[in-house]
Structure 1
């Protein structure tokens, strides 16, 4: 028995008390206690049968009608209150595709009032010739459900909206199609923002790389022809390298736009060992301990290597000690489901500044206190897109401990 039947039973109990029929309610409560040990669905069916029998036996025809009518009105009012309160468009169409219910969210989204649109065909909203949105009524009539489908609808002013919709067909007791319920969310601004960012990102990356290639070429010629101090040239080279890294970071951010499509299985064993080897080559004076199993698969975004590489490099790069100490370990939680594995990087440095710690753990930044680079932001976003968790604490070496917790794939 559906939850709707349970709600009807509960409402009838409430209405019987409010209408002064406590004796009838008590008889139904006795029936409930008698049938309580039975299965939940059977209990609900038995209660409905008892309600019909008791109402017919104990109440006159007029009282029965009053109780049932009041109960139905109560449920309808609650349903309509919920429908009107939700901030998205909720639409109910009849078997012929005519709009039968149009909430305030629909009026705000599409610009038509309920009086203007009620009785009109749902196809009025569709954007003909732009995509496959015209197939939606036929899909629902064929019994299909739509979950988060992206399409386009029309606004009353003639403009076209990008929307995401959820829809399900309604059926009569004999299974015959009886219309559909459609929930629509306007994502026009989101789609436009994504498009602008994509174009801006692509154009900037292309132009920046071209300009940097030319600048570096001329810088190399200056260095080759210089007979004196090249410190200034080295400074310029460092800054050009930073710009290249920013361009790469912008490309990574674009990859994070659709995190679900970017998840795959990574093996932390060989991945972390390879990254530690590169770290030792880049920082030969550092003492780097590594405790990593042969194999430790996890599910994460494709950019996970970038995030871990950033954590490892920060542990050595920002340590002023003559012999920086870094400890890298991969551990696993094998009990229970889901299972997790954690990569922990510890150092003996001066500790992570509070502004950088806030980026990794809280994702906050203000105009007065902001991170020096985009690497920490990317690390946090990658871990979140991987379904993982990032924690920062004081390490056993006296510096900072950064731990990335990731979910292991199912067996």
Structure 2
């Protein structure tokens, strides 16, 4: 009978060691997953403990038996701290592994291992190793010293803390991790009980460390956790990282995904959108519920969802990492843009139709009015025809501006190094043909006037501002004053050495508050409206150039444009210029309630063209 018990102890110990080694091999496929490395190290220590103890039970040589016992001790003292490291990493607390206290904890098994391997030269861990066979196997008896007790108790305590962390994961993260964490929590109870009994020396067989053969139950539960469930596909560190993002209560659809594009959690809005209910078991493939590839959604930033609650959604993906910086998945937040997208398409169509038809029909109307003006003998009729021609000219000028803006609206910024003063001169050469009576002067301080920007968009800004000032010079009360005068000043930004300021100043009347209110509101209402489009275009273009536009009054209106010498700095300008118009509430805008950039003083020069 005793031989059967002894054989069972040896076979169970060997099986526990071999099983642990097999699990290390199996876990290698999950290397890099949260906690996998720590668990492999834990199982390696477990393998050393079990196999060394089994070898010791089969040898009668006391010296060999002592070294086998020493190797078994190395496995025992490392098992608890390594399991704690696994628990920290698996539950998303790997930052604690870098703390001084945890580092100090790992010095204890290191010191105990050194003492165990040098045992012939001292007796700090145990005294009087002697044979004491039980059940027909080579068991030994010795007296454990205080450092030995300390090392083993630290290992047991660390394992206990690890168990508590896993139990906490069960409580905090619900059924998703319940099977895995429960198995891993229970797996330590059997060998821990055997070690405590051996350590205390109670029972009829104090020579036998039953913690080793009981490792076999540990291995079986580990195998269930690793193979029977999806422990590393559903690590709670993904959930914990999502909790830290403070987006759990977001009203928009929110999905938490792991590194394999599987949904491990989602809020109620997302459940409704994708039809996920109690019949679905998480984790579930994102492609299965969304009908789209996650990488494509991330690259396009858009997802179309079918069904009664579906629509077009903009998609924002935020990567999640654990405290060490390792990728553990991501958050996908969806914002419905169905109405905005349809509105944008409708406005785009209307914009093209109106611009094209307006130009064609006005050209016809202007031609007929001009013919009447030339051929009519009635003075009143000629005057009326002339008024039609002038009105048509103004509307055609507006249509031309809209066309110019449309040409730059649909393209990305084309950055190059340009000289502001050259741009001003080019703009004035073009405008001078239409306004030969106006005087435009440039004042350039000794500054760096070269910018890395989009020359065409900058030209559009300056041409609209300068023309606006010229056109409204006719609204001055003193009609005897000279022709329209515009001064363009190029200076350094007073508070930013990396920026240049371009001011367009005139001597026209101060702007009415209602005019500036339209720009500030980002919308033209029935009561507050600008009478032209030039300043809107200037504002949208400055925004696209990562600049700032301000308005002031100093014996005339001053429009101040501040531009960084490198437009690309400080903002992502890979989007087309139409993004600036949209965020400012312009044609085709999706957010009419957006307040334009910076405005101050009296406001923009009065209605343009």
Normalising by the residue count of structure 1, what TM-score does the alignment of the two structures yield?
Answer: 0.68
Of 275, 294, 313 in structure 1, the residue corresponding to residue 467 of structure 2 is 313
2:275 aligned with 1:112 = yes
Task: Give the paired residue count.
Answer: 352
Alignment of 1:56-135 (within 5 A): 57=154, 64=161, 68=165, 73=172, 79-80=242-243, 82-93=246-257, 98-107=262-271, 110-115=273-278, 118-119=281-282, 120-127=284-291, 133-134=292-293
Once the two structures are TM-superposed, the CA of residue 313 in structure 1 deviates from its matched residue by 2.0
In the alignment, structure 1 residue 213 sits paired with structure 2 residue 363: yes
Give the distance between the partners of 2:496 and 2:552, measured in 1 at CA. Answer: 26
Residue 370 in structure 1 maps to residue 370 in structure 2 = no
Q: TM-score, normalised by structure 2?
A: 0.48
1:8-407 paired onto structure 2 within 5 Å: 44-50=98-104, 57=154, 64=161, 68=165, 73=172, 79-80=242-243, 82-93=246-257, 98-107=262-271, 110-115=273-278, 118-119=281-282, 120-127=284-291, 133-134=292-293, 136=294, 147=298, 149-157=300-308, 161-166=312-317, 181-229=331-379, 230-251=382-403, 254=406, 261-265=412-416, 266-279=418-431, 282-292=434-444, 296-300=450-454, 302-319=456-473, 320=476, 321=478, 322-323=481-482, 324-333=484-493, 339-360=498-519, 363=522, 365-395=524-554, 398-407=555-564
Seen in structure 2, the aligned counterparts of structure 1 residues 275 and 125 have a Cα distance that, compared at 3 Å, is same
Shift of 1:284: 4.9
Deviation per CA, 1:73-124: give whole Å up to 9, x if none.
Answer: 499679448232224433234677553212234235x252453555443223
Q: Offset of 1:354 from its aligned partner?
A: 1.9
Cα 1:43/1:384, change in 2 over 3 Å: same
Following the alignment from structure 1 to structure 2, what is the Cα–Cα distance between the partners of residues 42 and 232?
85
Distance apart, 1:344 and its partner CA: 0.6
Task: Name 1:10's counterpart in structure 2.
Answer: none
Report the Cα offset of residue 271 of structure 1. Answer: 1.5
Q: From the superposition, tell whether residues 404 and 362 of structure 1 become closer, same or farther in structure 2 (CA, over 3 Å).
A: farther
Which residue of structure 1 lines up, in the alignment, with residue 91 of structure 2? none
Which runs of no fewer than 5 residues in structure 2 stay unpaired? 1-33, 36-94, 109-152, 174-236, 570-609
Say if 1:393 and 1:401, in contact at 8 Å, map to a contact too: yes
Counterpart CA distance in 2 for 1:285 and 1:97 is 67
1:215-234 Cα offsets, whole Å, 9 max, x none, are 23322332332234322112
Q: Distance in 2 between matches of 1:159 and 1:99?
A: 18
RMSD: 4.4
Secondary structure of 1:303's partner? helix
Please tell me whether the aligned partners of residues 148 and 164 of structure 1 are also in contact (alpha carbons under 8 angstroms): no
CA contact (8 A) 2:503 2:561 kept: yes
Structure having the higher strand fraction is 1
Taking a change above 3 Å as real, the CA distance of residues 93 and 212 of structure 1, as seen in their structure-2 partners, is: same
Unpaired runs of 5+ residues, structure 1, are 6-40, 128-132, 140-145
Bigger CA radius of gyration? 2
